[in-house]
Chains A and B, each alone.
Chain A
Amino acid sequence: MFDFLLNPVYATWIVEGLLLTVEITLFGVLLGLGLGTLLTIGDIYGKKPIKAAIAVYVEFFRGSPLFVQLFLAVYTVPAILNVQIDHYVMAFLVFGLNSAGYQKGYLKGAMETVLGDQMQAGLSTGMSKLQTLRHVILPQAYRIVIPSWTNEFCSLTKSTATLAYVGLSDLVSAGISIKGITYQILPVWLVIGVIYLVWITGFSKLMDVVYEKKKVPGVEFLMQ
């Protein structure tokens, strides 16, 4: 039943698919974290037009399906600009831009719980707003946001299934190819499902450890 796994060609497809899924997800959540941070700061401190632009950005990436965003990025945008852009590059970019839209929400919540008194304290010591953000606000906000960030990672990992729509070979497209040849539909999807499950669970558990390690000593005691 699972003998397709022994076929080196299929095994290679699966491994390559998994690698793309892993790479694009990690790149996406990291770019999303960086860009999400900038969007959050812009949303909190920016003038009205900046806030409005950020709101449009966030609603676009949260409100429309990822595969539509992918389709636009991979086919439509290069066609309009009349340039050739590697599909992989555009796909990586879309995952980052999309994730930034979500992470802006998580980060804004986290930053707002920290900002009030801690910004005051930072400014009172002579640090600038930017220095206080960097050394006081963000280190605390990032700690708070780790569990939400882990959720974002899980969700984004499974979203890589949409890559098959634009002809990129992620884990699901490997599954589609293999089942198309072998007709072992259930076994193929079971294997693909288990691979997702193992990778996501493993990484999430790692992030749980990071979260516990990074907790500020004494703080959890206060919150009870």
Chain B
Amino acid sequence: MADLVMEAKHVYKTYGRSNKKADTCIDIKQQVEAVKDVSLQIRKGDIKLIFGPSGSGKSTFLRCMAMLDIPDKGEIYLGDECLTKPGVDLNKARARIGFVFQHIYLFRHLTALSNVELALRQVLKLPKEEARKRALDALTEVKVTDCINKYPAQMSGGQAQRVGIARALVRNPDIILLDEPTSALDPELTGEVIDTLRDLAKEGTTMLIVSHEMPFAREVAEEMIFYDEGTIVETGPPSQFFNAPNTDRAKKFMTRIINRTTRE
């Protein structure tokens, strides 16, 4: 399988949450199983979309894929390199993965240009001019050339998120992981970001996206993954979910989400 970009094999991640009640002195240890035996394969050029109720562990799974959270059990492969083996240079691996955050997380003290440039200089060790050129190209690609010298707090959410996308794609990563890239934005700004993602899709960028933008999913995703209670419930092409999901849970969720979308 030479074209396998990323693979998750039986990944588990549990959070221990301590709920100490002050008045009773009872310590209730709550275990949240955010990821339970999740396996997933992504090939070159794939666009897969994960969706499901909030709090179901989608983001945790995505963060495990990027090794921003270390899985308790299971394996993550980037190409044929196993990232969950001890002693792997995770920084090197992460340099080949682009990550876009729900709450954007731009470097607050740097301009848009410097945000995109920083890793090129520090990680890829590119000379100044080349880094600048590539950063400008990336910012042009996501159409935010008008705010290259603006700081994150001076941009709109949509502009900031597009800079976030530029920061993720400027290193030409093998894959871009996007964690609800539009859910912190209002509908108008969501449109801007979705347009950018659509462009990336057209160029054949490999993407794993957590999102509830259903029209977008229908348009670009080869596969949709319904995720609930820490695990993959159903997988299939968009047509399957939009017409007749196999599982009751997916059916219910789709009904709710489509009603919400049409109301808007």
A contacts, CB < 8 Å to B: 117-118, 120-128, 131, 135-136, 139-140, 143, 216-219, 221-222
The 7 closest A-B pairs by CB, nearest first: A126-B95, A218-B153, A125-B119, A124-B99, A218-B154, A121-B105, A126-B123
Report the nearest B residue to A219, measured CB to CB. Answer: B153
A146 to B107, CA, bound (A): 19
Interface contact B123-A217, CB-CB below 8 Å: no
A135 to B99, CA, bound (A): 19
B152 CB contacts on chain A under 8 angstroms:
218
A216 to B111, CA, bound (A): 9
A161 to B261, CA, bound (A): 71
A123 CB contacts on chain B under 8 angstroms:
68, 91, 94
Question: Does B227 touch A at the CB level, under 8 Å?
Answer: no
Interface contact B122-A135, CB-CB below 8 Å: yes
Q: Which residues B132-176 have CB closer than 8 A to chain A?
A: 150-154, 167-168, 171
Interface contact A216-B91, CB-CB below 8 Å: no
A219 to B111, CA, bound (A): 12
Question: Does B260 touch A at the CB level, under 8 Å?
Answer: no
Mask: chain B, 68-94; 1 = CB below 8 Å from A; 0 = not:
100000000000000000000001101
Interface contact A218-B122, CB-CB below 8 Å: no
Given contacts A124-B68, A125-B167, A126-B171, contact A136 B107 (CB under 8 A): yes
Interface contact B108-A216, CB-CB below 8 Å: yes
A127 to B68, CA, bound (A): 12
Number of interface residues of B (CB under 8 A): 29
Question: Does B250 touch A at the CB level, under 8 Å?
Answer: no
Question: Does B106 touch A at the CB level, under 8 Å?
Answer: yes
Give A115 Cβ to nearest chain B Cβ, in Å: 12
Interface contact A221-B153, CB-CB below 8 Å: yes
Interface contact A118-B118, CB-CB below 8 Å: no
A136 to B105, CA, bound (A): 12
B99 CB contacts on chain A under 8 angstroms:
124-125
A135 CB contacts on chain B under 8 angstroms:
118, 122
A121 to B66, CA, bound (A): 12
A143 CB contacts on chain B under 8 angstroms:
109
Interface contact A216-B151, CB-CB below 8 Å: yes
Q: Which of B95, B109, B152 has the most CB of A within 10 A?
A: B109
A128 CB contacts on chain B under 8 angstroms:
91
Give A216 Cβ to nearest chain B Cβ, in Å: 5
Report the nearest B residue to A125, measured CB to CB. Answer: B119
Given contacts A216-B153, A222-B153, contact A124 B123 (CB under 8 A): no
Sample of 29 A–B contacts (CB below 8 Å) = A117-B101, A117-B103, A118-B105, A120-B68, A120-B101, A120-B105, A121-B101, A123-B68, A123-B94, A124-B66, A124-B97, A124-B99, A124-B105, A125-B94, A125-B95, A125-B118, A126-B91, A126-B96, A126-B123, A127-B122, A127-B123, A131-B123, A135-B122, A136-B107, A136-B109, A217-B150, A217-B154, A218-B151, A221-B153
Interface contact B105-A219, CB-CB below 8 Å: no
Report the nearest B residue to A130, measured CB to CB. Answer: B91
Q: Which residues B164-202 have CB closer than 8 A to chain A?
A: 167-168, 171
A117 to B106, CA, bound (A): 9
Report the nearest A residue to B69, measured CB to CB. Answer: A120
The listed residue (B92, B96, B106, B153) touching A121 by CB distance below 8 A is B106
Give B133 Cβ to nearest chain A Cβ, in Å: 18
Given contacts A118-B107, A140-B109, contact A126 B92 (CB under 8 A): yes
A140 to B122, CA, bound (A): 18
A117 to B168, CA, bound (A): 15
Q: With A124-B101, A126-B95 given, name 14 new contacts (CB 8 A).
A: A117-B101, A118-B107, A121-B101, A123-B68, A124-B94, A124-B97, A124-B105, A125-B99, A126-B94, A126-B119, A127-B118, A143-B109, A217-B151, A221-B153
A122 CB contacts on chain B under 8 angstroms:
107
